[in-house]
Amino acid sequence: MSEQSSAENQTPQQRGPSKRLERRVDALEQVLIQIYGPERLVLRAGKLQALKQLRSDVLEFKVLALQKLILDDPGITYVPTRREIPKMLRELEDELADMIARRTLEDELEKKIAERMQERHEEYVRDIRAQLLKEDGGPETPETLKKLERLSNLDKVALRGSALDVVRPGALHEVIGQELAIDSLMAKLASPYPQHVLLYGPPGIGKTTVARLVLDAAKKFRQSPFQEESPFVEADGTILRWDPREVTNPLLGSVHDPIYQGARRELAESGIPEPKTGLVTEAHGGVLFIDEIGEMDPILQNKLLKVLEDKRVRFDSPYYDPDDGNVPQYVHKLFLEGAPADFVLVGATTRQPEDIAPALRSRCAEIFFAPLVPADVERIVFEAGAKLGVTVLPDAARMISQYTLEGRRAVTLVVDAYSTVYLREDEQPSQINGEVIQRIISRSRLSPVKPILTREPEPGRVFGLAVAGYHGLVLEIEAAVFPAHQPGRGRWHFNDTAGSMAKDSVFNAEACLRRTTGRDLSQYDIHVNVVGGGRIDGPSAGVAIFTAAYSALTGRPVRADIAVTGELSLSGRVKPVGGIPEKIFGARQAGLTEVLIPQDNAPDVPVTTEGPTVATIGTVQDVLAKVFL
pLDDT mean for each 10 residues of the chain (629 residues):
42 60 83 82 83 83 83 83 83 82 82 79 67 55 79 78 78 88 91 92 88 91 89 90 75 79 62 85 93 89 90 86 83 89 92 88 90 87 89 90 87 89 74 88 81 78 84 86 84 69 75 85 86 67 89 90 89 88 84 90 78 88 88
**Using CA atoms, how far apart are residues 514 and 427, in angstroms rounded to an integer?**
71
**Using CA atoms, how far apart are residues 138 and 280, in angstroms rounded to an integer?**
35
Q: What pLDDT does 99 receive?
A: 82
Domain at 461-627: CATH code: 3.30.230.10
Q: Pick the closest to residue 545 from 586, 522, 513 (CA basis).
A: 513
**Using CA atoms, how far apart are residues 51 and 29, in angstroms rounded to an integer?**
12
Q: Tell me how crowded residue 451 is: count the other CB atoms within 10 A of its CB.
A: 15
Angle formed at CA 578 by CA 577 and CA 580, multiple of 5 degrees:
100
H helix or E strand, kind and range, residue 26: helix 12-36
555 with 459: CB under 8 angstroms? yes
**Using CA atoms, how far apart are residues 395 and 390, in angstroms rounded to an integer?**
15
552 with 459: CB under 8 angstroms? yes
Residues 6+ apart with CB under 8 A from 613: 593, 594, 595
Cite the active site residues.
540, 583
**Using CA atoms, how far apart are residues 391 and 77, in angstroms rounded to an integer?**
79
Q: Has domain 178-368 been given CATH number 3.60.15.10?
A: no
H helix or E strand, kind and range, residue 399: helix 394-403
3-class DSSP state of 479: strand
Domain residue ranges of the chain, discontinuous segments joined by +: 1-158, 178-368, 375-444, 461-627
Q: What pLDDT does 232 receive?
A: 93
**Using CA atoms, how far apart are residues 577 and 581, in angstroms rounded to an integer?**
11
What is each CA distance from 494 to 73, 87, 545, 568, 609, in whole angstroms?
Answer: 68, 80, 10, 17, 34
Under DSSP, the state recorded for 393 is P
pTM summary value: 0.66
Q: What pLDDT does 289 receive?
A: 94
Q: What pLDDT does 291 receive?
A: 92
575 with 598: CB under 8 angstroms? yes
Burial classification of residue 569, based on how many CB atoms lie within 10 Å of its CB (0-12 exposed, 13-18 middle, 19 or more buried): middle
- Give domain 375-444's CATH number out of 1.10.3470, 2.40.160, 1.10.8, 3.30.70: 1.10.8
